[in-house]
Amino acid sequence: MAPLLTLLLLFFFHTPTTSSSSSSPNTTTTTTTTTSSATTANLSSFASICERSLSSAASAVADLSSLLAYASANPALFYHECDIYGTIDFIFGNAAVLFQGCSIIARKPIPGQSSVVTTQSRDDPSEDTGISIQNCSIIASDDLRSSNVSTRTYLGRPWRPYSRTVNIESYIDSLVDPAGWTEWPGNHCQDTLYYREYMNSGPGSGVGARVTWHGYHVMGYNDATNFSVSNFIYGDEWLDSTSFPYDDDIPQLRYIIYTKKSAKTN
């Protein structure tokens, strides 16, 4: 099911369990969700449609398009220590959204289907939107882990030409395909998308066999800092007033150079 169709279904069938709000571009709205669980069979189950939103200890459970991240003016969404389950494109939309300390859990799809974690829909390179996944765990659900059927799981695919998603310091389990990323059917935007990885760990984090698209790279420290809480969603301007916990640190990658007589660290 295409995300656009899923989005339409969301407005007809979604039963809100989180508080969200919209306001004029000249006002600032912060919406807080502390504990929430949302389930809707095979439909989008969790939506953030507002200017600024933060969620903690929430769960979004569905198969298709579990979490819609969309914002109007000054988009800034923050998810902290949430559990997000899904199969196809289960984090989707177009906002500046940052996930920190979350468990992103791929479920078992129908036979013959792949699992895709993100599909971001940035239409214009001037938009300050994207998905930043930091210090999260990308793992398999129990039903996927115990399945005898081989399932390909990918970090993301581009819904729009300038799709932007980064994975920073996250644990990526062996469920993720070595290629890491996959195409949208009939979509040829591999040169214009922005997909990056930085200092991830786990058996699925190896970048040696990743896609060779022009728009994909393993990024360095300076680029990674652009996707921190303060730089990407300007969290220091609005999260501090909520006493909401967040980590604004992006560690610098350190290279170790070995010689015959000594080891030097740069």
* Alpha carbon distance 10, 13 (integer Å): 5
**Residue 189 main-chain phi, psi, to 5 deg:** -115, 30
* Alpha carbon distance 230, 121 (integer Å): 22
Q: Secondary structure of the chain: what % helix, strand, coil (to 5)?
A: 10, 40, 50
Cβ atoms of 105 and 123 closer than 8 Å:
no
Task: Say if residue 133 is exposed, middle or buried (CB neighbours under 10 Å; 0-12, 13-18, 19+).
Answer: buried
Cβ atoms of 202 and 167 closer than 8 Å:
no
Cβ-Cβ contacts under 8 Å for 112 (sequence gap 6 or more): none
**DSSP 8-state assignment for residue 50:** E
Residues 195-223 as b/e (b if ≥16 CB within 10 A, e otherwise) read bbbbbbebebbeeeebbebebbeebeeee
> Which H or E run includes 13?
helix 3-13
Beta bridge partners of 197: 167, 218
> What count of Cα atoms within 13 Å lies in the side-chain half-sphere of residue 70?
17
Catalytic machinery residues: 89
* Alpha carbon distance 176, 111 (integer Å): 17
